Structure formats: C-alpha cells, structure tokens
Amino acid sequence: MKNRNQVVPVAVDDLHKSYPDRKGAIGAVNGVSFSIEEGEFYTLLGPSGCGKTTTMRCIAGLEHTNRGEIWIQGKLVSSSDHNLFVPPNKRDIGMVFQSYAIWPHMTVFQNVAFPLKIAGIKVGSKEMNDRVEEALALVRLEGFGSRFATQLSGGQQQRLALARALVRRPALLLLDEPLSNLDARLRDHMRTELRAIQRRLGITTLYVTHDQTEALSMSSRIAVMEKGKIVQEATPRELYLAPANAFVAEFLGNSNLIDGTIKERDGDNGCLVEASFGYLRINAPVGVFSGAKVAITIRPEHVRIHRDSAAMQNSFAARVESVSFLGEQSECQVLVNETALRCRVASATSVVPGDEVWLEIPMEACTLIADETGVPVNG
C-alpha cells in the first residue's frame, strides 16, 4: 500500500473517527480506505450521518482522526500511529463549504486574495491581481471584484467560494455538498459548470453529497457509504446498473426490490428465478447456483407497459393501481399477482387506475444483487 500511497493525490487507510457522546462514543467513521487517482472526480455518497462529511473533514485536517492514516500527494498528513497531524493550513488543499463560508467583511476580490495573502504574496502586486482575476474569470465573476461578498446571489457566492478554493492551485479540491443550498434549476446548471471547470483544470477532486443525481452525473468514481463504512466503490454506471446490496440499490434510485429463488441456470449468464409474482428470466453472473435465495432490483424506468400480450419474455398480466404525474414521465403503481411494482412510463401513454395491462420486464431491467444474507454475489 505504501508505494501506491506515495504516487496518488489522496490515500486514506483504515480511517476511524468517533465523537464523544453521553453514552460513550459514537463512531462516525469506522474503517474507511480508498485512494483517488490524479485528475479524478471522486464522490463520497450516502445519507446524512453516514460519515461522508466526517471523512472529508479528516482529510482537510478539520478533525483529528482516532485511527488510520491519510496521505496527500504522497505526504503523510495524519497518522495516529506516528502521532502525526498536519494542520489544515499546512495541507495543500482548497475547499468549498456547504454554507460557502464567504467572509462578509471582505470584498469579492479580498475573499479570493486571502489565500494568496497568507501565502506571502504582496497585496496590490501584479502577481496577486493577475491570479485573483484569473480565478474570478474561471468562475465567470470578472468585474465583481470590488463588490461586497454579501451583495452576491447564492449561485455567485458559490462560484466565489470555488474561485477562492482554486486560487492557490491546490493539489486537491474538496467540495462539501456545495450545491445543496441552491434551488433546483441553479443546481442543475452549477453541476454542469462545476464539472466543466474541474475537467478544464484537471484538478483531483473529492466531492461529498447525499444526492444520487449529482453523484451519478459528475463523478468518475463513487464510494457509497453507510454507517461509517464504504459499502460499494464503483463507476457511476456500474453502481447504478449493478448495486452491490439492497441499501445501495434503494439509495441510488426508486428500484423495486424483489425476493426470489434461483430455479435453474440457463447457459453461462442466464437463469430462471421464481419471484413472488411469477417466473422471471434474468442475467446472472457465474457462481450463482440453483436453489440460492436472491434479491433482484427492477429499475422502474426499464419496465414497459403494453395494452395486450405479445410474444415477450418476462411478461405478466397486471392492474394499474395508481398513476402520479411527474412531468415528462408518470409513475405507475401496478399489481402483479398481488405484488406491487413501480414503473415509469412516458406521460403520453394513457393509463388510468383500474386498467388491465401487460407488464414487460426486460432482462436488462433486472439486477441480481444478493443472496438472503445480503452478501453481494457480484461485487
């Protein structure tokens, strides 16, 4: 592990962090290890309280760790064994906070100039002016320098926070739920912009969010965290299509989660599963054997609704229970042999509650994720 640690921008090894509590200590992070490659956009994803923010704060040096080691650019910055702790101001990082943390007593220019001033660059020097202007231009805030930071809108403050984090050209950019305080439209816009800036600079980035859309659309790799541990680390596509367990599947989207038993294997990568509502033919990895209890996720957007039965695989008679209009799509609750399933259809499809329909569940809509003990079979 040591050799690897010395070349990658960030390596975290067996990180533990707990907070004192009335009843003793609450473990916030319980043994997290990962490393980030040069130029990667790496995301820690999970619900609130899963330890993702604590992990990031440990990397930033805003929290002391209880156990484990943290390396930044091959330099050991935190180690309980060596009783070593490099304070945040000595780590080569830039960070954007959830609240943006724009200093209200400074102008936009002064906010961005602050890290340079601390680094010893003379206020008013050409170098400082050039670098601040460059950073402001990067986030499209040219000409705002003399304004007071409090006069900016939410989106502008967010961009200012990014400029301030980048102005020192740090080795690592930390983003702590930076989009969560923006309204939905601005959030979509900033998501694209943030990723574009990150790509242009090629800066290694660690991103923390609880929003699966943000994680899936921005990241090169995602680590899903639950109860202080990483439960799955994968690319967005892998994660979405092949969640390692029920938690990841549910967290990543409104999947249907079905229990079943493997009836027979069918060639190298197919099998027949007996689910509560009938027999389902799905893709199955090697190593799954007949009789195994499994869980299957069925992506609602992949399920199709037909008016009549045609020669289709995995087709079931169903009744529409409810329809909720979500804009482009509508979500339908259907009942298949007394099992409720959710599916998404284009809103142009005219279905109303009470309709008798045929449900098609294509093989690629299903992911076999776990046996009955919850141990991933394809992880």
Q: Which residues bind other proteins (CB under 8 A)?
A: 60-62, 87-91, 93-95, 97-99, 101, 103-105, 114-115, 118-119, 161, 164-165, 168, 174
Radius of gyration of the chain (CA): 25
In the complex, least distance from residue 306 CB atom to other proteins, rounded to whole angstroms: 52
What's the closest the beta carbon of residue 27 comes to other proteins, in angstroms?
A: 18
Which CB sits closer to other proteins, 114 or 358?
Answer: 114
Contact 66, 244 (CB under 8 A): no
Q: Which residue type does 363 have?
A: M
The DSSP code sequence of 22-45 is TTEEEEEEEEEEEEE-TT-EEEEE
The token duo for 162 is: 């990014």
Least distance from C-beta 169 to other proteins, angstroms? Answer: 12
Residue (62 or 246) nearer to other proteins, CB: 62
In sequence order, the 6+-apart residues with CB closer than 8 A to the CB of 24 are: none
Cβ nearer to other proteins, comparing 175 with 275: 175
Nearer to other proteins, 90 or 122 (CB): 90
Q: How many CA atoms lie within 13 A of 209 on its CB side?
A: 26
CB of 112 to other proteins, least distance (A): 10
What amino acid is encoded at 3 in this protein? N
Task: State the minimum distance, in angstroms, from the CB of residue 168 to other proteins.
Answer: 7
Instruction: Tell the smallest beta-carbon distance from residue 297 to other proteins (Å).
Output: 37
Cα–Cα distances in Å, from 210 out to 34, 85, 213?
18, 28, 9
Q: Are 354 and 333 in contact (CB under 8 A)?
A: no
Q: With the CA atoms of 15, 21, 25 and 27 taken in that order, what torsion angle do they form, in degrees rounded to the nearest 10? A: -40
**In angstroms, rounded to a whole number, what is the distance separating the alpha carbons of residues 48 and 97?**
16
Q: Smaller CB distance to other proteins: residue 164 or 210?
A: 164
CA distance 44 to 229: 11
Task: For the CB of residue 75, give the shortest distance to other proteins in the complex, in Å.
Answer: 16
Q: Contact, 67 vs 15, CB < 8 A?
A: yes
CB of 86 to other proteins, least distance (A): 12
User: Which residues partner with 293 through β-bridges?
Assistant: 261
Would you say 17 or 164 has its CB closer to other proteins?
Answer: 164
Q: How far is the CB of 223 from other proteins (least distance, A)?
A: 22
Which strands make up the sheet holding 278-283, listed edge to edge? Answer: 278-283, 270-275, 256-266, 293-298, 366-371
Pairing relationship of beta strands 67-72 and 75-79 according to DSSP bridges: antiparallel
Nearer to other proteins, 156 or 256 (CB): 156
Pick the closest to residue 93 from 223, 204, 222 (CA basis): 204
Which residue lies nearer to other proteins by CB, 160 or 298? Answer: 160
Residue nearer to other proteins on the CB measure, 101 or 340: 101
27 vs 94, which CB is nearer to other proteins? 94
Taking the complex as a whole, the smallest distance from the CB of residue 145 to other proteins amounts, in Å, to 17
Q: Using CA of residue 30, residue 370, residue 289, residue 239, what is the dihedral sign?
A: negative
Query: Tokens 């390396």 correspond to what residue?
Result: 71
d(C-alpha 145, C-alpha 348), whole Å: 49
